[in-house]
Amino acid sequence: MVKQNLYWPIYMNLEKELIALSNSIMFDDAEGSHQLDTYSPKVSELLLRCATEIESISKDLYYLNGGERKSNRKGEEIEPKFDFDCLKFLDDAWQICSKQVSVSSANFFFTKPENKVITPLKGVYSKNGCLWNEAYQAVKHYRATSMNKATVRNLIHAMAALYVLNIYYRDEETLYRLGRRFGNMAPFDNDNIVSFNSEVFSLSVRQFTQMGSNVPRRTGRSFPEAVYIRKYTDNSIQDLVNEWYEPQKERFKKAKDILTKRPELKEWLEKGGVLKNENAHIVWQCLGRPLLNKMNALKTFEEQKKFLLDRPSLVGVSHEIIEQVFPNDKISFTNKEISTNNIEAICVVMGASESIGIINSEFIFSDTPEHKEYLANGGAYDMDHIQDIIHHFGRPLLEEMNKLSTLEEKIEFVRHRPNYSSTESSLAVQLKYGFPARMIPFDGKTLTSENIEPICLMMGCTEFVLRNAKNPNDPKIDSLSKPTEVVLNKGQKLYTKVVLPEDWFL
């Protein structure tokens, strides 16, 4: 994309001057130290030069990636602002304002996490949202009265911002392809770190070399903090998809049979809807509609917002999932704030997530005698019956616990269950799911007479799931031997050439 790069040599010269400055000024954040607040004419000069480079490279990146010229109220063409226009444009496309940089110079003696890993472009196009940009504007226009804003801290953050922008300007999309285990190779210092020969900054490479049904749909937006992502090559991921899917064809068929009977999908299926990969977003919309109807029965936005905030499933909602469920609607949830523009989409995703959890339970339980007994007694698999599901499948463990006489014995019984330690931290959330109509007191650790029985039921149900979720046909995949590649994170779909089975989304 870029034929001639004049920015990188200038950046490297600025970096050398920053390192030279650190030989004159101690860069540390020790307790009681104020070194990062040190200011001087030299720091001011470097900040101005650095921020001028940021202005220029931001505009170049803006135009190179499709940004358009702006017009004023008179219709006259004007240059875009580097922060409010250019960097916002790049943030919308690449989440560039979320990228993290490690301060790794041997000359900088930082121990506090907020100084060792920074997000230098965060808030840069928001008023009063970015200290180095605020300092730059102040020093540029009011040098004499604003010198104290030209601090070492602001200079380091501005330099880190310029470093990130230079990496994107270089646009080295795929750096190299190798197996999972390999030695050092420039520009990588090791498997997980890239520096491009910077002596001040480095970038952690986000590892995305996992396997699962959702992997082929993942995008770079899943990892907003990462400048680079390690992923499987297109050939590797195709091989893994085939190896993962083939032994499980019958399970996918059973899952499809369960879905075709879901009342939420009945109308869509009757109108000719087909359960296949390309319609996954429609399936999610249908599954989420019952919760949306409940929310829309509330009159005010504040009531609707509280309705969502009180549901544990909100935790699992992300901008990426909303993009997948509503691919054509450009609904934003990047800042995790509920607004009138995104509340319905958030609710649909939450409702679908809850339904999928229930469907997974039905899928796992369907071959057991307990499942047949549950249905024979009028049971159903939906959120309105979640407490019935937990009672039915968790009851054997509760009955075993209740054979004990004292509360102390029951507490010891629960604490010594094999899955207690792994579920302890999530039990409070599970209780909200499993007993939505009850306020069961639980601080995440203390077992009492008020919470011991519902917690035992939850654990009994979880143990039943674990016992029956194992499948002899679970694929044995040698993912460690598959070649990987490292790519620049522009929010792109990570796998564009993989051919998926039609029912993969199930």
336 has pLDDT over 90: no
- CA 171 to CA 174: how far, in whole Å? 9
Work out the burial of residue 46: count CB atoms within 10 Å of its CB; fewer than 13 is exposed, 13-18 middle, 19 or more buried.
buried
Instruction: Report, as an integer, the average pLDDT of 273-294.
Output: 92
The secondary structure element, H or E, covering residue 91 is helix 88-94
Position 497 pLDDT exceeds 90: no
Residue 231's nearest CA partner among 204, 203, 211 is 211
Task: Answer whether residue 2 shows pLDDT above 90.
Answer: no
- Top mean pLDDT of 50-59, 163-172, 335-344, 428-437 is at 50-59
Looking at residue 248, what is its pLDDT?
Answer: 79
193-194/101-103 β-pairing? unpaired
Q: Mind listing the pLDDT tens digit for each residue in 61-89?
A: 999 999 998 888 888 889 999 999 999 99
Which amino acid belongs to residue 414?
Answer: V
For 344-376, the pLDDT digits (tens) are 999 999 999 999 999 999 999 998 999 999 999
pLDDT confidence tier of residue 187, bands split at 50, 70 and 90:
very low
- How many CB atoms neighbour CB 226 within 10 A? 21
Mean pLDDT of 275-303: 94
Q: What pLDDT was estimated at residue 62?
A: 97
C-alpha to C-alpha distances, 14 to 20, 50, 230, nearest whole angstrom:
10, 7, 30
pLDDT digits (tens, 9 = 90+) for 222-236: 889 999 998 888 898
> Do 103 and 118 contact (CB within 8 A), yes or no?
yes
Q: What is the mean pLDDT of the chain?
A: 87
The stretches of 310-451 forming alpha helices (DSSP H) are 319-325, 343-365, 369-376, 386-401, 407-415, 420-423, 427-434
Report residue 472's pLDDT band, with 50, 70 and 90 as the boundaries: low
- Using one digit for the tens of pLDDT, what is the confidence trace for 205-261? 988 877 666 677 778 888 899 999 988 888 988 888 888 888 778 888 888 899 999
